[in-house]
Chains A and B, each alone.
Chain A
Amino acid sequence: MSFTKKLLLAIGIAFIAIQFVQPAHNKSDHALSTDILKIVNIPDSVNAILKNSCYDCHSNNTVYPWYSNIQPMGWLMANHIKQGKEALNFSEFGSYSPRRQLSKLNAIANSIRDDIMPLSSYKLMHKNAHLSTNKKTIFINWAQQSKDSLSGIN
């Protein structure tokens, strides 16, 4: 066998080997009482945006694309999801202190306004995650209104 053939074979073996290491999926059946749905009012238009553009990395439920079963894609995704949930988890929004909830809504509005979120790498793979100017306005206004309603209660 030539060197190239051997190298390809080695890469092939390595590729097959890593397929056996599947990261645990980010899936939870029961809705938590801390879910943002239970904390603030979410109109359908905003709910659609949350589902399509946010929840894959910022909730306890990810909709997995087919390539997530191929490594190392699945590992990369697991890592992104872990980081995303650490920064903000809509499923556990209610467990944040009242002050932190306001702070988070503020940060949510800012990151949408500044195009920091959704991540461009995510938008590349999820075409419907992209937010039009109109959707951005709807979303930012919702964050603002939620902030006002929460600070009214607290």
Chain B
Amino acid sequence: MMKKIIFGLAIAATTLAACNSNSNKSTESQNRSKDTQAKSQTDNATITTSSVADAKNTISIKEIVSTYLQLKNALTRDNTTDAATAGTTLEAAFKNFDKTALTAAQKKTFEDVEDDAREHAEHIGKNGGNIVHQREHFVILSNDIYDLVKTFGGGQVLYKVFCPMYNNGKGAFWISETKEIKNPYLGKAMPTCGEIKEELK
């Protein structure tokens, strides 16, 4: 009995060790097979109903902006969980954006913004529960979104709002869909800090 246990332990340890070196590969192939599965499921769905895959490929700048605004509004409410969800959605929106319709110059601007903004969106998504850190990333993300809107338009009237108090008096701006000031950096503690600096049409 005891021998069996020990033998089993040794085998388990060896297998575990052997698996470790292959673990990256195997999870990769697992993911890939999951992707293929998901894909064939969507393909089946496409036949009967409208396509999910197509919808994914037609993410517009307007949708990116509206997801950003959801994130912004979650932060104004001090809601770190909603902010994280919106961050993850925003990362996916950047990833699924269809760049084929862009001119070479537009593509360059978009990719420059995308490379940076995706990472900030991802961090915000992963830091549910740490709103201070989410807000730090939101500063640079807002800068990215501003440049995106400046280049491509936001699909709606937007405002650049600046709050001089945040970050020990260094200040930071955000993009808002309303003239009413609701501060995403200070949240409920100081909701009305902010001044409209620019109207983006």
Contacts of B115 in A (CB 8 A): 96-97, 99-100
Chain B, range 176-199, C-beta contacts under 8 Å to A: none
Question: Looking at the complex, which one of A9, A23, A96, A100 makes contact with B21 (CB distance below 8 Å)?
Answer: A23
Distance, CA A7 to CA B6, complexed state (A) = 7
CB-CB under 8 A from B10, the residues of chain A are: 10, 13-14, 17
A75 located at the interface, meaning its Cβ lies under 8 Å from any Cβ of chain B in the complex: yes
**CA separation between A108 and B91, bound complex, in Å?**
22
B51 interface residue, CB < 8 Å from A? no
Interface centre among A20, A21, A98, A100 (most CB of B within 10 A): A100
Q: Is the CB of A18 within 8 A of B13?
A: yes
Q: Which B residues, 113 to 127, have Cβ-Cβ distances below 8 Å to chain A?
A: 113-116, 119-120
Distance in Å: Cβ of B83 to nearest Cβ of chain A: 19
Interface 0/1 of B5-24, CB less than 8 Å to A: 01001100110111011000
Give 10 new A-B contacts, CB below 8 A, not counting A9-B6, A18-B17: A10-B10, A17-B14, A18-B14, A18-B16, A75-B20, A97-B114, A97-B116, A98-B112, A99-B115, A99-B116
Instruction: Choose among B21, B112, B113 the residue that contacts A21 (Cβ–Cβ < 8 A).
Output: B21
* 13 pairs of residues in contact across A and B, judged by CB atoms under 8 Å: A3-B2, A10-B6, A14-B10, A17-B10, A17-B13, A18-B13, A18-B16, A21-B17, A71-B17, A96-B115, A97-B114, A99-B115, A100-B112
The answer to whether residues A10 and B111 also contact, given A21-B20, A97-B116, A99-B116 and a CB cut-off of 8 A, is no
Which among A9, A20, A103 has the highest number of chain B CB atoms within 10 Å?
Answer: A103
Q: Determine the chain A residues whose CB is within 8 A of the CB of B13 once the complex forms.
A: 10, 13-14, 17-18
Residue ranges of B at the interface with A (Cβ–Cβ < 8 Å): 2-3, 6, 9-10, 13-14, 16-18, 20-21, 111-116, 119-120, 136, 140, 144
Per-residue CB contact flags for chain A residues 91-107 toward chain B (1 = under 8 Å, else 0) read: 00000111110010010
Cβ of A14: which chain B residues have Cβ within 8 Å of it?
Answer: 9-10, 13-14, 17
Q: How far is the CA of A47 from the CA of B179 in the complex (A)?
A: 48
Chain A residue with minimal CB distance to B24?
A: A82
With CB as the reference atom, state the residue of chain A lying closest to B17.
A18
Tell me how many residues of A have a C-beta within 8 Å of chain B. 22
Chain A residues with CB under 8 A of B120: 103
In the complex, whether A110 has a CB less than 8 A from a CB of chain B is: yes
**Distance of A104 from chain B, by nearest CB (Å):** 9
**Beta-carbon contacts under 8 Å, A1-29 to B:** 3, 6-7, 9-10, 13-14, 17-18, 20-21, 23
Nearest B residue to A7 via CB reads B6
B144: which A residues are within 8 A, CB to CB? 99
CA of A23 to CA of B17, assembled, Å: 11
With CB as the reference atom, state the residue of chain B lying closest to A82. Answer: B24
Residues of chain A with a CB closer than 8 A to B9's CB: 10, 14
Q: Which of A42-80 contact B (CB under 8 A)?
A: 71, 75
By beta carbon, the residue of chain B nearest A75 is B20
Set B6, B17, B111, B140: member contacting A106, Cβ < 8 A: B140
How long is the Cα–Cα vector from A14 to B6 in the complex, in angstroms?
10
